[in-house]
C-alpha cells in the first residue's frame, strides 16, 4: 500500500525525524490559510501516488498567501499521470544548501533490508544508480539486530556529511529504520533530506510503501489507504481476497498461484503478447471468487483476449469452470478466451466448458500462443 507524502512524513515525525511545518489542504482557500499561518512563503505540493510531480507542474513555490491560493487552484485542477489531484500539501519553504537521499528497502538477493544513501539527493535514485552507481552507499541491516550506530556513522562518512551533523544524521537514520521495521514497510524513503541554511537536517519529502500482507497488524495504517488513487478494479479485487495488479497489455490473465501467474505472464511476453494484469485467485478458490475475478478482468477495455491457466491442487478445476460459466452468463464477454485446466478434477472442468465456445490448450506454451493470436484478431 502506497502512502501519500504527507502521511509518510507524519509517520517519520513520530520517530523523531524533523519535517517542515505544514498541513494538507483539499481546497485553495484552505491552502491560503495554511500559507498565512506559515508566514506567507510556502511550497504547494500535489498529493498523488505517482512520481514525477515536479516535472508535471505539481510542485510550486508561492511567495505569499494570495499566490498560494492561485497555485493551489491550478494544481487541484490537474491530473498527473491519469490521477486527479484532490489534495495539496502546503509546507513552509526551505532554504536548501545540500540535498541528500536516504532510504531503506528490501534486498531480495541478500534477504535483508538495505539502507541506501547518496549525496546526489533530490533526483530519482534509479537514475543515480544507473548513471553513477558509485555515488550510492549501501549498508545491509541484520533484521534481528537492526541498524547499528556504527553503520549510520559509516553512511554519514561515505556521503561526506559534515562531521558536526553526524549525531543528527544518526538519529534520523535510526528513526527511519524504526519507521520502516515497526510499520512493516517495504520502502521508507527521504528524498531529499536537506541541510538548510541553519545547518539543520530536514526531511523535505517522504515516501512509504506498506506490505499489504501485514496490514492486519496495523489497523491505523489500513485506514490511510486512499482508494480514490487506486484503480477501481484493484479495490474490487481486494474485497474478494484476490491479488490483482493492472498492467498495460491486452491479454487478461487468471491464474492460481503467484509463481504460476508470473510464469504465465513471462510466456505470454515470450510469444509476443503483453499481459493486461497480474491476477492470482489463490488456493482453494470457489466458483464465486472465480466469477468475481473474471468480471474484474473484463472491466478493462484494453483486454482483447483472456487466458485461464489453472493447475488444480487445492483449487479444483471444476470449481473454476463453474465460476467461469457464472461470470460468462452475467457479463456476456465478447473477447476470445483460452483455457488450460490441469490437475484436480480437470476432466470434469473441461466437460463443463465443452459448450462454452472457449479455446482449449494442453500446455502453457500452447495456451499463450493461442491467447496472443486471439488478441491480434
50 pLDDT band (50/70/90 cuts)? confident
Catalytic residue (choose from 67, 69, 99, 101): 101
* Partners of residue 203 on adjacent β-strands: 193
- Best CA proximity match to 176, nearest among 120, 100, 122: 100
Inside any domain, residue 166: yes
284 pLDDT band (50/70/90 cuts)? low
Catalytic residue (choose from 5, 67, 99, 189): 189
Inside any domain, residue 8: no
| Residues 73 and 106 grouped into a single domain | no
Q: Which range marks the domain in which residue 149 is found? A: 96-222
| Residues 208 and 313 grouped into a single domain | no
| pLDDT digit string, tens, across residues 80-136 | 887 899 999 999 999 999 999 999 999 999 999 999 999 987 767 778 778 888 889
| Residues 235 and 352 grouped into a single domain | yes
Inside any domain, residue 190: yes
| Residues 237 and 179 grouped into a single domain | no
| Residues 188 and 236 grouped into a single domain | no
- CA–CA gap between residue 80 and residue 68 (Å, rounded): 19
Select the more confidently predicted residue: 256 or 314.
Answer: 256
User: Is 15 noted as a catalytic residue in this protein?
Assistant: no
Inside any domain, residue 167: yes
Inside any domain, residue 49: yes
CA gyration radius, the chain = 25
Select the more confidently predicted residue: 82 or 150.
Answer: 150
E strand intervals along the chain: 22-25, 42-46, 59-62, 79-80, 83-84, 88-92, 96-107, 112-118, 136-140, 185-196, 201-203, 206-210, 243-246, 251-255, 277-280, 305-312, 337-343, 359-360
| pLDDT digit string, tens, across residues 179-202 | 999 999 999 999 999 999 999 999
| pLDDT digit string, tens, across residues 300-336 | 999 999 999 988 777 788 888 888 888 788 878 889 9
| Residues 371 and 235 grouped into a single domain | yes
Does position 266 have pLDDT exceeding 80, yes or no? yes
| Residues 247 and 292 grouped into a single domain | yes
CA 158 to chain centre: 30
pLDDT at 286: 65
The percent of the chain in helix, strand and coil, each rounded to the nearest 5, is: 40, 25, 35
Inside any domain, residue 72: yes
User: Is 92 noted as a catalytic residue in this protein?
Assistant: no
CATH number for the domain including 252?
Answer: 3.40.50.261
Please count the structural domains in the chain: 3
Amino acid at each position: 500500500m502506497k502512502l501519500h507524502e504527507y502521511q509518510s512524513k507524519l509517520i517519520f515525525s513520530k520517530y523523531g525525524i524533523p519535517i517542515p511545518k505544514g498541513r494538507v489542504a483539499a481546497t485553495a482557500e484552505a491552502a491560503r490559510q495554511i500559507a498565512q499561518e506559515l508566514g506567507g512563503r510556502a511550497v504547494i505540493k500535489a498529493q498523488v501516488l505517482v512520481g514525477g510531480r515536479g516535472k508535471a507542474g505539481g510542485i510550486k513555490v508561492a511567495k505569499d498567501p494570495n499566490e498560494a491560493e492561485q497555485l493551489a487552484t491550478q494544481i487541484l485542477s490537474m491530473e498527473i499521470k491519469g490521477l486527479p489531484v484532490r489534495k495539496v500539501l502546503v509546507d513552509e519553504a526551505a532554504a536548501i544548501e545540500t540535498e541528500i537521499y536516504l532510504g531503506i528497502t528490501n534486498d531480495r538477493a541478500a534477504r535483508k533490508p538495505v539502507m541506501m544513501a547518496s549525496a546526489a539527493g533530490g533526483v530519482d535514485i534509479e537514475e543515480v544508480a544507473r548513471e553513477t552507481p558509485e555515488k550510492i552507499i549501501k549498508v545491509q541491516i541484520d533484521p534481528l539486530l537492526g541498524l547499528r550506530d556504527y553503520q549510520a556513522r559509516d553512511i554519514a562518512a561515505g556521503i561526506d556529511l559534515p562531521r558536526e551533523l553526524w549525531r543528527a544524521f544518526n538519529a534520523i537514520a535510526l528513526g527511519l529504520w524504526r519507521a520502516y521495521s515497526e510499520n512493516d514497510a517495504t520502502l521508507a524513503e527521504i528524498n531529499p533530506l536537506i541541510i538548510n541554511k541553519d545547518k539543520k537536517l530536514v526531511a523535505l519529502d517522504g515516501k512509504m510503501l506498506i506490505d499489504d500482507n501485514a496490514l492486519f497488524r496495523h489497523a491505523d495504517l489500513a485506514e490511510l489507504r486512499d482508494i480514490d488513487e487506486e484503480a477501481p478494479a484493484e479495490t474490487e479485487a481486494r474485497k474478494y481476497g484476490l491479488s490483482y495488479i493492472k498492467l498495460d497489455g491486452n491479454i487478461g490473465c487468471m491464474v492460481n498461484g503467484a509463481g504460476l501467474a508470473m510464469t504465465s505472464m513471462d510466456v505470454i511476453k515470450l510469444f509476443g503478447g503483453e499481459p493486461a494484469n497480474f491476477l492470482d485467485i489463490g488456493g482453494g478458490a470457489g466458483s464465486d471468487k472465480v466469477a468475481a475475478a473474471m468480471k474484474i478482468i473484463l472491466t478493462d477495455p484494453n483486454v482483447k483476449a483472456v487466458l485461464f491457466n489453472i493447475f488444480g491442487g487445492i483449487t479444483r478445476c471444476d470449481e473454476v469452470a463453474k465460476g467461469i460459466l457464472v461470470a460468462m452468463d452475467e457479463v456476456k464477454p465478447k473477447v476470445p478466451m483460452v483455457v488450460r485446466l490441469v490437475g484436480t478434477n480437470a476432466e470434469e472442468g473441461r466437460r463443463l466448458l465443452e459448450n462454452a465456445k472457449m479455446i482449449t490448450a494442453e500446455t502453457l506454451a500452447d495456451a499463450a500462443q493461442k491467447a496472443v493470436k486471439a488478441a491480434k484478431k
